Amino acid sequence: MPGKLKVKIVAGRHLPVMDRASDLTDAFVEVKFGNTTFKTDVYLKSLNPQWNSEWFKFEVDDEDLQDEPLQITVLDHDTYSANDAIGKVYIDIDPLLYSEAATVISGWFPIYDTIHGIRGEINVVVKVDLFNDLNRFRQSSCGVKFFCTTSIPKCYRAVIIHGFVEELVVNEDPEYQWIDRIRTPRASNEARQRLISLMSGELQRKIGLKVLEMRGNAVVGYLQCFDLEGESGLVVRAIGTACTLDKLSSPAAFLPACNSPSKEMKESPLVHPPSHGCRSTHNSPIHTATGSRLTQNFSVSVPTLIYTGMGSGSAGKEGGPFKALLRQQTQSALEQREFPFFTLTAFPPGFLVHVGGVVSARSVKLLDRIHNPDEPETRDAWWAEIRQEIKSHAKALGCHAVVGYSESTSICEEVCILSASGTAAVLNPRFLQDGTVEGCLEQRLEENLPAGCGFCHIPYDELNMPFPAHLTYCYNCRKQKVPDVLFTTIDLPIDATVIGKGCLIQARLCRLKKKAQAEANATAISNLLPFMEYEVHTQLMNKLKLKGMNALFGLRIQITVGENMLMGLASATGVYLAALPTPGGIQIAGKTPNDGSYEQHISHMQKKINDTIAKNKELYEINPPEVSEEIIGSPIPEPRQRSRLLRSQSESSDEVTELDLSHGKKDAFVLEIDDTDAMEDVHSLLTDVPPPSGFYSCNTEIMPGINNWTSEIQMFTSVRVIRLSSLNLTNQALNKNFNDLCENLLKSLYFKLRSMIPCCLCHVNFTVSLPEDELIQVTVTAVAITFDKNQALQTTKTHVEKSLQRASTDNEELLQFPLELCSDSLPSHPFPPAKATSVDYSSFADRCSSWIELIKLKAQTIRRGSIKTTVTVEKASPMGEGNFRNRSAPPCANSTVGVVKMTPLSFIPGAKITKYLGIINMFFIRETTSLREEGGVSGFLHAFIAEVFAMVRAHVAALGGNAVVSYIMKQCVFMENPNKNQAQCLINVSGDAVVFVRESELEVVSTQQPTANCQPSCTGGEVTT
């Protein structure tokens, strides 16, 4: 009996009128936990009852404490008939189970009914007394902290990052049980809500146990999902990254909170919660549309088909001595792990060494009834299979780990597509195991990886590449090879050197498929998958080139299966990485020569494309430093020089003469227009309208190129459903409809949020579902964040001045790490070795040893300083702006009591997160049988989503928090039956409840940070504070 749960029901307000005669209500409350129920007295004739109950005490196992939700039911007492339920509140008491989080839950909770929605509020106080449990074989895992945030939470530091944890539990879906035929919809909905709540609790507890086994104390990047498999059951599964976290003892040591994560990184050398830290890249297997064939291998064995989106190929041989060395180091750390996966998308500095590319695997499965819920082996086996696949892909890329890892499903009837994707990466073993941290501090300080480009360097062997790729020497350090394009699923590393701003890039695709049953259906789907994946990649690549950019971050490809179609939606944030070569242009080639008008048409299109690229470069301020040819061209052996020489649109016209030679190595992209389909594709390329001026958008945490966030944020969810007329169901029409749907949705968002200009839509998350034959539903959740316009102007001005040359401003930072090649140093040092000035950290040896050595935390700070420096060098780059950030950022306006902010990001601009109160994971069902009266489908869903937000806010407020970070709406399943005037919707949301303090409210901590004890170079970082 290791715990005592105490509950007090204080009062209610705004209750609905339950007795028509008196226009009042005789309310009382039932408090239930496990199998124990308490009741309050009936408070007669009031809509604002004051129960002020005694403390109801439940003596329970901590196992139950973790699994069970506290269930509070408000009823109307009726002397003659059954008492009527007004509504319920479920309270997850998990946050009370670990010491650092909330100590009491107290506040007003909306009383929720699945049929009527919110019906008044109830004031409840909940406390838990935990007794020490000495039983070693306990089943509970109280004390393990959970975070949805996919980076190391702000007020913690990672001592060890243990790795992947996963678990799934299955059950029968109450909606499909026989009893459902005789019970009311309300009873059925409540049974479902309760069951899922229980299953989530159980899942969390089991994952917690695994974490304890690994000797961790927290799960970061916790992602829990439901698969509503219909007849065959209900699956709740979760993945996460087990860590050992240390709470940073003195929050005072922090600088006033960061406007952006980058700032936070500087706060203390011990902290490296660079939530936006690392990223990886993905080499798309498709480098030229015409040249390379699709290299995916997928085994077809009906009904289980595995399709892998990544290039195959044998594991690369060890490329160089460093790589071998590195591999040895990290392998030992990762070997014992079944799956060296990390759900993190941002990492402590130094954690991510190299990035190989995106790895993904999909598998089509036929669902059958889960016979024994206690042994969910089939589902486990399915996922194990996919993970194995991912692991082998990562190996093929010469990587031993996968970061930014996520899993998803799409279910239609009995077919289920399981997908997993992540970014293959080479990691620094320092964080992966215990006890190795000692030693060689000084060395480490110097051994930093080249800032801003190290992660771009290929981890695989260039002579034995897993897929055809075009390698060049890194444009940053000139030492290592980099691919021409990088795709990744992670956030942009904080230290990455980026030129210009980023932008949201989406690939959208529909494919019709015949309606079919069971295995035939599964086969049809798996046959379509590779083609879809190929086209999605082609589209992404085209759009990326059209934007004049060379890397994608936060890539998320969602394939949705419907009755008669498949939809693919890929979202990512495009950026121009300074380390990677300038992307070539897009060349259009016609298949029918000698046709005058056709040629003319082609050249017209070509011109349009060229114009678009030029325009985009201007829009996103992509002005890469000019690089003289000898430097990039001559020293690099270019065995794979393309014979097809293409005009490159990438360079501005005045550079063309100088850059003649380098064109040869630019892999221009050729689109062959051989049929109408291709024509459509080209057209669709050009239809994407850039956001109106003052708006930027990205799907990563922060917008590359913008740092000067101000404090105004607006999180929103927008849902659209369109009905396709069944007549026009061709692939093209479908594509167009889908494309229009997404584009119009974005346009609407820009219009709605126009008052926030200048602002950026961050973490734009699109979800597509196909609820019925002819319906397409798109759900978008994102946050709009304002930024300081003056600084934005500054940037643009800088750009204008760019031609005047950058040299003047460089000196702002005294300490520069030469890793970043400032362009002005280039002319004077035409050869790579010469470029390394005072401190050459980028040399091979240094890099090599840095892999081997564990880097002390302090070193990170230094590096960060260097990052800053680098940025200043590239004036165009966003981070330079950081230096001015504080000066112009206006203090935030009043923070009204009771306001709860919600954001999908892991941070709050202009504020500092001081405490994590626990995970919020809520599941709601809403149903109506009076759809028209509630304003139709739009009115119904609008009200429901508003209610969900309200309930999330209420729970956060009751925990004592004022914000939810890393908020995500994981599921929004909407079903309607207008003929019956009915609709039903299920929503699942999660996030981390936190307390934040406005920067302006924090005492200004002196700039003398603990960082001072490291090298003077730290000052580089401090300048920004």
Partner 1 sequence: MTSELDIFVGNTTLIDEDVYRLWLDGYSVSDAVALRVRSGILEQTGATAAVLQSDTMDHYRTFHMLERLLHAPPKLLHQLIFQIPPSRQALLIERYYAFDEAFVREVLGKKLSKGTKKDLDDISTKTGITLKSCRRQFDNFKRVFKVVEEMRGSLVDNIQQHFLLSDRLARDYAAIVFFANNRFETGKKKLQYLSFGDFAFCAELMIQNWTLGAVDSQVDDMDVDLDKEFLQDLKELKMLVADKDLLDLHKSLVCTALRGKLGVFSEMEANFKNLSRGLVNVAAKLTHNKDVRDLFVDLVEKFVEPCRSDHWPLNDVRLFLNQYSASVHSLDGFRHQALWDRYMGTLRGCLLRLYHD
CA 905, CA 254: separation in Å to the nearest integer?
Answer: 20
User: From the CB of 776, what's the least distance to partner 1, in Å?
Assistant: 9
Stretch of 16-24, 239-247, 449-457, 720-728 lying at the interface with partner 1 (CB under 8 A): 720-728
The HSE-up count of residue 171 (CA atoms within 13 Å, CB side) is: 20
The alpha carbon dihedral of 369, 372, 378, 384 has a sign of positive
Our CB check for partner 1 shows the closer of 270 and 968 to be 968
748 contacts partner 1 (rule: CB under 8 A)? yes
CA 468, CA 639: separation in Å to the nearest integer?
Answer: 12
Q: Binding residue for partner 1 (CB under 8 A) from 30, 180, 385, 740?
A: 740
CA 964, CA 900: separation in Å to the nearest integer?
Answer: 7
Q: Is 301 exposed, middle or buried (0-12, 13-18, 19+ CB in 10 A)?
A: exposed
Q: Binding residue for partner 1 (CB under 8 A) from 744, 796, 805, 808?
A: 744
116 contacts partner 1 (rule: CB under 8 A)? no
Stretch of 193-201, 216-224, 499-507, 710-718 lying at the interface with partner 1 (CB under 8 A): 710-718
| β-bridge partners, 304 | 301
CA 491, CA 701: separation in Å to the nearest integer?
Answer: 7
Sort residue 137 into left (φ over 0), alpha (ψ -120 to 50) or beta.
alpha
User: From the CB of 920, what's the least distance to partner 1, in Å?
Assistant: 14
747 contacts partner 1 (rule: CB under 8 A)? yes
Q: Binding residue for partner 1 (CB under 8 A) from 723, 797, 887, 932?
A: 723
942 contacts partner 1 (rule: CB under 8 A)? yes
Helix %, strand %, coil % of the chain (to 5): 30, 30, 40
Our CB check for partner 1 shows the closer of 178 and 751 to be 751
User: From the CB of 863, what's the least distance to partner 1, in Å?
Assistant: 36
Q: Binding residue for partner 1 (CB under 8 A) from 204, 329, 714, 1024?
A: 714
Our CB check for partner 1 shows the closer of 576 and 940 to be 940
Q: Do residues 863 and 448 touch, judged by C-beta distance below 8 A?
A: yes
The alpha carbon dihedral of 147, 153, 159, 160 has a sign of positive
CA 890, CA 882: separation in Å to the nearest integer?
Answer: 14
721 contacts partner 1 (rule: CB under 8 A)? yes
User: From the CB of 187, what's the least distance to partner 1, in Å?
Assistant: 25
Q: Binding residue for partner 1 (CB under 8 A) from 4, 6, 14, 608?
A: 14
Which among 399, 308, 311 has a CA at the least distance from the CA of 361?
308
Which whole-number Å values give the CA distances from 330 to 334, 351, 352, 439, in the listed order? 6, 11, 12, 18
Our CB check for partner 1 shows the closer of 833 and 898 to be 898
Our CB check for partner 1 shows the closer of 499 and 509 to be 509
Our CB check for partner 1 shows the closer of 576 and 750 to be 750
Number of CB atoms found within 10 A of residue 890's CB: 10
Stretch of 53-61, 336-344, 361-369, 940-948 lying at the interface with partner 1 (CB under 8 A): 940-948
User: From the CB of 727, what's the least distance to partner 1, in Å?
Assistant: 11
Our CB check for partner 1 shows the closer of 118 and 305 to be 118
- Calculate the CA 779 to chain-centre distance: 16
CA 501, CA 698: separation in Å to the nearest integer?
Answer: 10
Stretch of 532-540, 615-623, 633-641, 712-720 lying at the interface with partner 1 (CB under 8 A): 712-720
754 contacts partner 1 (rule: CB under 8 A)? yes
Q: Could you give the angle at the alpha carbon of 750 between the alpha carbons of 749 and 752, nearest 5°?
A: 65
Which 851-890 residues touch partner 1, going by CB under 8 A?
Answer: none
User: From the CB of 896, what's the least distance to partner 1, in Å?
Assistant: 6
Give 807-870 as a DSSP string: HHHHTTSS---TTS--TTHHHH--SHHHH--S--TTSHHHHHHHHHSPPPHHHHHHHHHHHHHH
Q: Which run of H or E residues covers position 335? A: helix 321-335
- Residue 738 backbone dihedrals phi, psi, to 5 degrees: -65, -45
Radius of gyration of the chain (CA): 28
Which among 723, 782, 784 has a CA at the least distance from the CA of 759?
784
- Residue 970 backbone dihedrals phi, psi, to 5 degrees: -80, -30
15 contacts partner 1 (rule: CB under 8 A)? no
User: From the CB of 14, what's the least distance to partner 1, in Å?
Assistant: 7
939 contacts partner 1 (rule: CB under 8 A)? yes
Q: Binding residue for partner 1 (CB under 8 A) from 974, 984, 987, 1023?
A: 974
720 contacts partner 1 (rule: CB under 8 A)? yes
Q: Binding residue for partner 1 (CB under 8 A) from 907, 949, 965, 971?
A: 949
Our CB check for partner 1 shows the closer of 121 and 846 to be 121
User: From the CB of 839, what's the least distance to partner 1, in Å?
Assistant: 47
932 contacts partner 1 (rule: CB under 8 A)? no
Stretch of 139-147, 225-233, 376-384, 736-744 lying at the interface with partner 1 (CB under 8 A): 736-744
Please, what is the angle between helix 321-335 and helix 844-852, to 10°?
10
977 contacts partner 1 (rule: CB under 8 A)? no
Our CB check for partner 1 shows the closer of 560 and 737 to be 737
Which 890-929 residues touch partner 1, going by CB under 8 A?
Answer: 896, 899-902
User: From the CB of 985, what's the least distance to partner 1, in Å?
Assistant: 11
Q: Binding residue for partner 1 (CB under 8 A) from 432, 867, 937, 965?
A: 937
User: From the CB of 744, what's the least distance to partner 1, in Å?
Assistant: 7
Which 117-136 residues touch partner 1, going by CB under 8 A?
Answer: 118, 121
Number of residues that bind partner 1 (CB under 8 A): 52
687 contacts partner 1 (rule: CB under 8 A)? no
Our CB check for partner 1 shows the closer of 601 and 720 to be 720
Q: Which run of H or E residues covers position 791? A: helix 789-802
77 contacts partner 1 (rule: CB under 8 A)? no
CA 344, CA 241: separation in Å to the nearest integer?
Answer: 7
994 contacts partner 1 (rule: CB under 8 A)? no
User: From the CB of 48, what's the least distance to partner 1, in Å?
Assistant: 10
941 contacts partner 1 (rule: CB under 8 A)? yes
Q: Binding residue for partner 1 (CB under 8 A) from 722, 968, 1002, 1005?
A: 722
Which whole-number Å values give the CA distances from 187 to 85, 194, 230, in the listed order? 11, 10, 18
773 contacts partner 1 (rule: CB under 8 A)? no
Round to the nearest angstrom and report the end-to-end CA distance of the chain: 50
Stretch of 446-454, 475-483, 534-542, 744-752 lying at the interface with partner 1 (CB under 8 A): 744-752
110 contacts partner 1 (rule: CB under 8 A)? yes
177 contacts partner 1 (rule: CB under 8 A)? no
847 contacts partner 1 (rule: CB under 8 A)? no
Number of CB atoms found within 10 A of residue 467's CB: 21
User: From the CB of 749, what's the least distance to partner 1, in Å?
Assistant: 8
Q: Could you give the angle at the alpha carbon of 81 between the alpha carbons of 78 and 86, nearest 5°?
A: 50
CA 666, CA 583: separation in Å to the nearest integer?
Answer: 7
Our CB check for partner 1 shows the closer of 358 and 719 to be 719
| β-bridge partners, 473 | 481
Our CB check for partner 1 shows the closer of 719 and 889 to be 719
CA 543, CA 748: separation in Å to the nearest integer?
Answer: 22
| β-bridge partners, 44 | none
Where do contacts with partner 1 occur on this chain (CB under 8 A)? Answer: 13-14, 108, 110, 118, 121, 692, 714-725, 737, 740-741, 744, 747-752, 754, 775, 777, 896, 899-902, 935, 937-939, 941-943, 945-947, 949-950, 953-954, 974
